[in-house]
Structure 1
Amino acid sequence: MGVLGALSLSITPFAFVIAVSGCVFAALLLRIVYCQFFHPLSRFPGPWWATSFSLVGAIISVKYREPQFLTYLVAKYGTDQPIRISPTMLIFPRPSAARDIYWDPKCNFKSGLYGTGALGPPSLFTTLDGEQHRQLRKALSNAPWTIGQLKNRWEHRFDGQVTLFLDKMREHAQAGRVVCLSDKVAEFAADIMSMISFTDAFGCVKNQRDEKLILTNWRIGLDFFGFVGRFRFFREKVIPMPYVGRYFLPSVDNEVGMGWLMCEADRQVTAREKLIAEKGFDEAPDFLQHCLEARYSDGSPLTPTQKRSHVTLLIQAGADTTGTALGSILRFMTTTPGAFARARAEIDGADHAGHLSIPVLYEETRRHLPYFVACIKEGVRLNPPATNLFARITPKGGKVIDGHFIPEGTEITTYAYVMQRDRELYGEDANEFRPERWLESEKRSNELEAMQFSFGMGPRICIGKDVAYMEMFKLLPEIVRRFDIEVLHKGEYVVAGGVAYNQNFMARFVERVGGKGLFELESVGGSNAADVVRYP
């Protein structure tokens, strides 16, 4: 039988469990001791349970408590030094650290959070290596990313979607329906992104529903994205195992959500390439066409996988996130005393002066509605659509960041939700919605703008930032221009997997009559429900 066999027979099941439990306990204890006293990052402050096990951060993400957790750490440890939030990651609370991290080419290698595959096939967003990212972004640079190109090529198409949205909200207003405003603006954003990507919008606004459950399934998938991205062992050891990734990661076989989107990208790319081969393509190029025409510096095109992954990039990265910004700004404006009224008065004044088109143009909002623009910037500051831990890896030999030497191989990051509430930069009212802070002076506004991290910073700044701002500058003024908003439930700002969305922002639109709003006309109609909040 042998010695091992004899030993196994002499050990009772209870003793075996005790032995195994003792080994596990000893291993965990050794890990805690190493992380707290011998790890290269042990000198930085942070709770022992989070700095010993990356699983803690994953659980916090799944529990939707990441912004609150990081805010608590900043309150406890202060902002004078980086805070260790996992065994291998430091967060820098002060805005002054952002440039050291995100503008230095030596720090342009992303952490493994991006390479999990949880967001579908590899793309510009998930490319880890800085040089590969630079080459890929340059290959895609022919697409209309800048605001100038968007105004020239796409703004008239935005106008059509804005008009359709207003018509649908007018129908709801006339019927007296209560709508989930946060979902409605997210559906608008999904249509804009799909229109830019494929020429034709998915039809969310037209049909007043989340087509193919793109937004719903995106939000469901954020839990897994956050968990796998923060739990390093699961990310590096479990997901790469044979067949495991296939079970957890999105598949083109799905009929809704990300799987359907991947399938639709494949169908559209295949059909467009066939059209080009047979007849050529002479229509106004959409993002799909730009992906097909993209070329690296050596003249080579994107691979078939890259074409299909990038044609959906705007939809994945910008649909629900832009919807979050739209919903958050409206919530702040309608629940902050005086904000909605001042924005309405500014719009009416510009309207009477003949400065505004129908629908309003991006440039008209920028020039003639300064308070409204300040509301937009303030809403994005307080409720950043993507609060993720956009970590970079420190280079060989380490790096000094915000006055602190950080060893090589460390994951370093800031966090928009925390950084954009820094009292040293924004004042003691940093947690309050106060658009006036952006209007104090041009110098002050530029200072605040330079520290905005809602869309990232440096060479990897969000490629769809100007698309998002065009949506905000065009849709939001038209909503305030044409409707009063009766808020029944202001809803919640939720962060899952480092990406934010709004839920349960319930409201009723009331159409203005002859330039008069609900406040002016409350004696002739309107809801009398006690739980309805009215904003003129």
Structure 2
Amino acid sequence: MDFFFLSNFVNVSRLAQGALVGAIVYWVLWIVYARVFHPLARFPGPFWASVTRGWTLLHVLPGDAEKTQRRLHAKYGPVVRIAPNELVTSDPAAINTLYGIKSITTKTDFYLAFRPPWARFPDHFSAEGGSQHGERRRIVSNVYTMTSVLQSEKYIDRCMDLWLEKLGEKSDRHESFDLWVWTRMYAYDVIGELYFSKMFGFLKAGDDHLGYINATDDLIPVQFLAGNMPTYVRGPFMLMGILLLPKVRRALKALDNLTSATNVMLKNRIAARQNNSPSKEPERADVLGKLLDISDNRGKELNFVLDDIKMEAFGGFFAGSETTALTLSGILYHILKTPRVHAKLIAEIDAAVKFQQLSSHIAYNEAIKLPYLVACVKEGIRMHPVTGVSFPRHAPPSGCTIGGYFIPGKTRIGVNPSVIHFDKTVFGDDAEQFRPERWIEGDASYMDRHIMQFGMGSRTCLGKNISMCEIYKAIPQLLRSFSLELVSQEEMQTTSYWLHKPVAIDIKVQRR
């Protein structure tokens, strides 16, 4: 018996030793291949980044990848290897090569982590590219034109009025407010008005009473981390997360709640359309109604059905609010952080009021005629881009030249807006400073071609016009009505789990 036990122990021990030796040999061979023979072996970068994607996960995990990547480019140059099969570049010319209207690059599987599992077709954000993406985009593009958005401008005014009322109450009570929280509530309520003809009630409640905003805080980082993993790891990651991590469970529940909320609003609208009561109020021409019109009139021809409408609504509901809010809060933060700019912008707004160039509800078409405001918006977008990580693409099949290197075809490579927006060859030697005058004195069209806030080329965000309308209306309205002041002059803290979000921006408010 003892001999049998000892024999088994020896066999198991040998198997374990064999497995260990096999693992060591595999890793030695892999490291040699990754460092010497891999198609990306000649590109500089951290050692561990070249042999394991684990390095990539660790470098994005703290939520400050934009700082890490700036240091990487300072050390290694314009093209850096950040994973065995992925590069990032700070070469300004790469923007047109990778994202330009005529580029033939495709999106990587990174974006699949953000795609709702019930989508019939790839959504506009995660679609790889090609003819199908263009066809699906053309179905709805007219809904998002600025002309279409401005048809509902008065409903954005409703949200702005409520926000001003709430800030007035805070001023009267001598309370400060978190600009980041309130821009989010404003942006979400605007989406409610524009898509569903009804605010979600965040501004009225003064908090995230529905839990939707907290849901995105739970969901997006998990999706982002999953997107940085190899596809074969994502399933086990989500399964382990469900079993072990409350944040992952909350994130998945958040996705379900957001989907359910979209379903309910769509169901209610269809029921209202089917109600033929003569006393019923006429339907407002909101985004949801325009999408339903497309489905009703040409749904069979275009293969555009209710699930596709839900995808559009979900996209605006889930993504459009966050990107607008972080952009608006970033612009206002930099204006308030720079007293000279703040005073100059106030003077421009006050002069426009004096000469009756601004209505009581400032119109988008009035705001964009204020040159210094336009410069402040452009500079704020430059200083606080929507994401702190790269937009990864597959290089063209035949390869391309970037930063003095030939990039092999199908290589994963991207540009980080939080790096390129500070390039001194494009924006000047003072690119680290918030100076709106550069957009008046310099070549604005050239600089514009290097701003990646809403994507580039054929992948430009469909919701850009909604976002810009909200921003251009909000800034002069707020600054005309209130004296705003940062509570602290310390640098704004941010997190970059895909979206480059402020942590908090405390503001003192006083009526003017």
- TM-score, normalization: structure 1? 0.85
Equivalent residue number for residue 44 of structure 1: 43
Q: In structure 2, what is the equivalent of residue 348 of structure 1?
A: 350
Deviation at 1:130, TM superposition (A): 2.5
Distance 1:293 1:411, change over 3 A: farther
One-letter amino acid of the counterpart of residue 112, structure 1: D
Aligned residue in 1 for 2:77: 78
Kindly indicate whether the alpha-carbon contact (under 8 Å) linking 1:253 and 1:260 is maintained by their aligned counterparts in 2.
Answer: no
1:472-527 per-residue CA deviation (whole Å, 9 max, x = no partner) reads: 11111111111112322356342332211112211221111xxxxxxxxxxxxxxx
The residue number in structure 2 matching 1:492 is 492
How many residues are treated as equivalent by the alignment? 500
For the residues of structure 1 that align with 2:105 and 2:398, how far apart are their CA atoms? Answer: 15
Match of 1:516 in 2: none
Aligned equivalent of 2:417? 416
Closer, same or farther: CA 242–226 of 1 in aligned 2, 3 Å: closer
Counterparts of 2:7 and 2:411, CA distance in 1:
45
37 and 5 in structure 1: CA distance in 2 versus 1, 3 angstrom threshold: farther
Amino acid corresponding to residue 272 of structure 1 in structure 2: R
For residues 170-201 of structure 1, give each alpha carbon's deviation from its aligned partner in whole angstroms, at most 9, with x where no partner exists. Answer: 00110111211111111111111222221111
1:158 to 150, 153, 156: 156
Q: Which amino acid aligns with 2:469?
A: M
Q: Does 1:213 align with 2:233?
A: no
CA distance in 2, matches of 1:157, 1:168: 17
Contact 1:214 1:256 in 2 (8 A): no
Q: After superposition, what is the alpha-carbon deviation per residue over 1:42-99, rounded to whole angstroms, capped at 9, x for unaligned? A: 11111121122112222222211200111011111223xx222212122221221111
Partner of 1:509: helix, strand, or coil? strand
Range with bigger deviation, 114-123 or 358-367:
114-123
Once the two structures are TM-superposed, the CA of residue 249 in structure 1 deviates from its matched residue by 12
How much does 1:402 deviate?
Answer: 5.8
Change (3 A) 1:422 1:453: same
Alpha-carbon distance change, 57 to 255 in structure 1, aligned in 2, over 3 angstroms: closer
Aligned to 2:198: 200
- Secondary structure of the 2:106 match is coil
- Structure 2 counterpart of 1:418, which letter? V
Paired with 1:242 and 1:193, the residues of 2 have a C-alpha distance of 30
Matched, 1:286 2:296: no
Aligned to 1:224: 222
Partner of 1:376: 377
Could you tell me which residue of structure 1 aligns to residue 84 of structure 2?
A: 87
Match of 2:124, SS? coil
Aligned residues with identical type, % of pairs: 26
Contact 1:416 1:454 in 2 (8 A): yes
Match of 1:524 in 2: none
> Aligned AA for 2:108?
S
The whole-number CA distance in structure 2 between the counterparts of 1:175 and 1:499 is: 33
**How much does 1:246 deviate?**
8.1
Indicate the residue corresponding to 2:439 in structure 1.
438
Q: Choose 463-472 or 26-35, whichever is displaced more.
A: 26-35
| Contact 1:173-1:509 within 8 A present in 2 as well | yes
Equivalent residue in structure 1 for 2:235, among 234, 239, 242: 239
Query: 2:152, 2:286 within 8 Å by CA — same for their partners in 1?
Result: no
Matched to 2:154, the amino acid is H
C-alpha deviation, 1:457, in angstroms = 0.2
In structure 1, the residue matched to 2:255 is 258
With the length of structure 2 as denominator, give the TM-score of the two structures.
Answer: 0.89
> What does residue 52 of structure 2 align with?
53
1:142–1:290 Cα contact (<8 Å) kept: no
Q: CA–CA distance in 1 between the matches of 2:290 and 2:22?
A: 57
* Aligned counterpart, 2:271: 274
* Alpha-carbon shift at residue 431 of structure 1 (Å): 1.0
- Partners of 2:136 and 2:491 lie apart in 1 by 39
Partners of 1:55 and 1:302 lie apart in 2 by 40
Structure 2, unmatched stretches of 5+, are none
Distance 1:362 1:425, change over 3 A: same
> Do structure 1's residue 477 and structure 2's residue 479 form an aligned pair?
no
Deviates more, 1:241-250 or 1:355-364: 241-250
C-alpha change, 1:121 and 1:47, in structure 2 (3 Å) is: farther
For residues 85-121 of structure 1, what are the alpha-carbon distances to aligned partners after superposition, in whole Å with 9 as ceiling and x for unaligned?
Answer: 2121222212211111112556342100111256664
Residues 402, 293 of structure 1: CA spacing in aligned structure 2 closer, same or farther, 3 A cutoff?
farther
Give 1:24 shift: 3.3
Give the partner amino acid of 2:353: D
Aligned residues of 1:318 and 1:464 also touching (Cα < 8 A): yes
Change in 2 beyond 3 A, CA 1:237/1:293: farther
Q: Secondary structure at the match of 2:200?
A: coil
CA drift of 1:405 comes to: 2.6
What corresponds to 1:301 in structure 2? 303
